[in-house]
């Protein structure tokens, strides 16, 4: 095993400085993803910096105007159970409750959750098979290998992996921002830009650079937030990643959809917004199941399934339909 040291950060500025200057240093929060990656020899850091004692990063607060700020070190279980989150953004609470297990949710942080890496087994297994994300330039074993769990949108020959976070899908639907601090100050990264496409650098998952510390995720005030829902479809009913999932938030007037936000998980390298369907759904009656189905199908003309995951296209369309109907019933 590669030896590493463990340090504890108490000052954000010093933590950022150390991360910027020492390439072998990685932040550790709950450790529920990072330690697995170390054991699977995907990463071999020289130094783990425990960031759990950094001040001011664990809060969950309602912002003036109705937005929500979730500290990067808030635990998944605390966010899921928070009354404001449950009432105003139920899709966020549901996405968290459908993730992992109770024990993991108690340990895992929100910053770590959106940073978690793909569950592609060629990436996770230490078996020497080509994987561009693990070993840049080596190839992609999943492209023509076992790709049942892989992407149907936005993939490249270099990588066909999917992003595994559930709550990231809800954040994408609600146009959240990731708040990042570095030596130059704080910036907000729109959720749509946070996860990188597989080209040109499949080994990079996000836009974060060395010296970047996630401090929070901010969800803007959204009328649609209250009528939101997260639906997750998986091989077994608990403790399993999504085959496909849908986060939907709507407003409804006179029984017709007025505005619709839909993001899907398990289908791409990042939460995938169904922008064509969002436009096509506006004005459709919630009673008109055929109309809803046809509007959702407009996005799926872009789907490019792989050899083993053609079933995901219909599954995702059905999941999106069910999630729209459930969110609509909450409006
Ligand atoms: C068995 C199992 C099942 C799971 N099932 C699900 C599931 O169904 N759905 C789901 O969404 N997730 C699932 N997960 C993933 C789990 O939610 C993540 O492991 C967890 O959220 C990561 O948070 P953490 O605090 O433990 O991160 P860590 O493991 O501590 O860190 C993960 C990464 O994030 C970086 N990092 C952490 N905090 C910051 C920060 N503030 N700024 C910058 N970088 C940071 C670390 O350096 C590291 O690279 C599962 C995990 C396991 C082990
Ligand atoms: S899909 Fe991506 S993570 Fe999986 S083997 Fe291919 S390059 Fe590696």
List, for residues 12-25, the tens digit of each pLDDT value.
999 999 999 999 99
List, for residues 191-205, the tens digit of each pLDDT value.
999 999 999 999 999
Expressed in angstroms and rounded, the spacing between residue 118 Cα and the centre of ligand 1 is 11
Q: Does the Cβ of 133 fall within 6 Å of ligand 2?
A: yes
Q: Average pLDDT over the chain, rounded to whole?
A: 97
List, for residues 77-116, the tens digit of each pLDDT value.
999 999 999 999 999 999 999 999 999 999 999 999 999 9
**Does the pLDDT of residue 237 top 90, yes or no?**
no
C-alpha closest to that of 112 among 220, 17, 35, 223: 35
Expressed in angstroms and rounded, the spacing between residue 231 Cα and the centre of ligand 2 is 26
What distance in Å separates the CA atoms of residue 179 and residue 177, rounded to the nearest whole number? Answer: 6
Q: What is the pLDDT of residue 319?
A: 98
Cβ-contact 245, 262 below 8 angstroms: no
Cβ-contact 226, 301 below 8 angstroms: no
Highest CATH level, class, for 224-330: alpha beta
Q: Which residue has the higher pLDDT, 126 or 253?
A: 253
Highest CATH level, class, for 5-53: alpha beta
* Cα angle 117-119-120, degrees, rounded to a multiple of 5: 115
List, for residues 239-282, the tens digit of each pLDDT value.
899 999 999 999 999 999 999 999 999 999 999 999 999 999 99
**Does the pLDDT of residue 1 top 80, yes or no?**
no
**Does the pLDDT of residue 127 top 90, yes or no?**
no
Contacts of 135 (CB under 8 A, 6+ apart): none
Task: Retrieve residue 34's tokens.
Answer: 């990072």
| Ligand 1 closest atom vs CA 73 | 41
**Does the pLDDT of residue 306 top 80, yes or no?**
yes
What distance in Å separates the CA atoms of residue 64 and residue 58, rounded to the nearest whole number? Answer: 19
Q: What is the pLDDT of residue 62?
A: 95
Task: Determine the average pLDDT of the residues in 320-324.
Answer: 98
Q: Does the Cβ of 202 fall within 6 Å of ligand 2?
A: yes
Task: Determine the average pLDDT of the residues in 220-248.
Answer: 95
Pocket probe for ligand 1: among 55, 58, 95, 112, the residue whose CB has the most ligand atoms within 8 Å is 112
Sheet with 47-50: strands ordered across? 5-8, 47-50, 25-28
List, for residues 131-190, the tens digit of each pLDDT value.
999 999 999 999 999 999 999 999 999 999 999 999 999 999 999 999 999 999 999 999
Task: Determine the average pLDDT of the residues in 112-139.
Answer: 96
Domain boundaries, the chain: 5-53, 224-330
Task: Determine the average pLDDT of the residues in 14-41.
Answer: 97
pTM of the model: 0.98
Q: Does the Cβ of 189 fall within 6 Å of ligand 2?
A: no
Q: Does the Cβ of 309 fall within 6 Å of ligand 2?
A: no
Quickly state the pLDDT bin for 2 (edges 50, 70, 90).
confident
**Does the pLDDT of residue 295 top 80, yes or no?**
yes
């Amino acid at each position: 095993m590669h030896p590493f040291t463990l340090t504890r950060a108490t000052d954000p500025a010093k933590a950022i400085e150390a991360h910027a200057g020492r390439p072998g240093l990685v932040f550790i929060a709950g450790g529920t993803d990072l330690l697995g990656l170390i054991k699977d020899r995907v990463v071999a850091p020289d130094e783990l910096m425990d960031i759990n004692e950094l001040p001011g990063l664990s809060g969950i607060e309602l912002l003036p105007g109705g937005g929500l700020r979730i500290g990067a070190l808030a635990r998944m279980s605390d966010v899921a159970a928070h009354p404001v989150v449950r009432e105003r953004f139920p899709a966020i609470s549901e996405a968290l409750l459908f993730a992992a297990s109770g024990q993991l949710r108690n340990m895992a942080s929100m910053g770590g959750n959106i940073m978690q890496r793909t569950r592609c087994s060629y990436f996770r297994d230490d078996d020497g098979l080509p994987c561009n994300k693990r070993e840049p330039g080596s190839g992609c074993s999943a492209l023509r290998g076992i790709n049942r769990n892989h992407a149907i949108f936005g993939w490249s020959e270099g990588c066909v992996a999917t992003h595994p976070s559930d709550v990231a899908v809800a954040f994408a639907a609600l146009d959240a921002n990731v708040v990042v601090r570095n030596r130059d100050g704080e910036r907000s990264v729109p959720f749509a830009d946070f996860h990188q496409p597989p080209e040109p650098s499949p080994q990079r998952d996000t836009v974060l650079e060395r010296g970047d510390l996630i401090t929070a995720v901010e969800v803007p005030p959204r009328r649609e937030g209250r009528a939101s829902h997260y639906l997750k479809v998986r091989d077994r009913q608990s403790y399993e990643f999504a085959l496909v999932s849908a986060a939907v938030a709507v407003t409804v007037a006179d029984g017709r959809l007025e505005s619709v936000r839909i993001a899907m998980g398990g289908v791409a390298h990042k939460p995938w917004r169904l922008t064509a369907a969002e436009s096509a759904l506006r004005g459709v009656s919630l009673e008109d199941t055929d109309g809803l189905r046809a509007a959702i199908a407009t996005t799926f003309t872009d789907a490019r399934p792989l050899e083993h995951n053609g079933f995901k296209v219909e599954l995702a369309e059905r999941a999106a339909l069910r999630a729209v109907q459930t969110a609509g019933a909450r409006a």
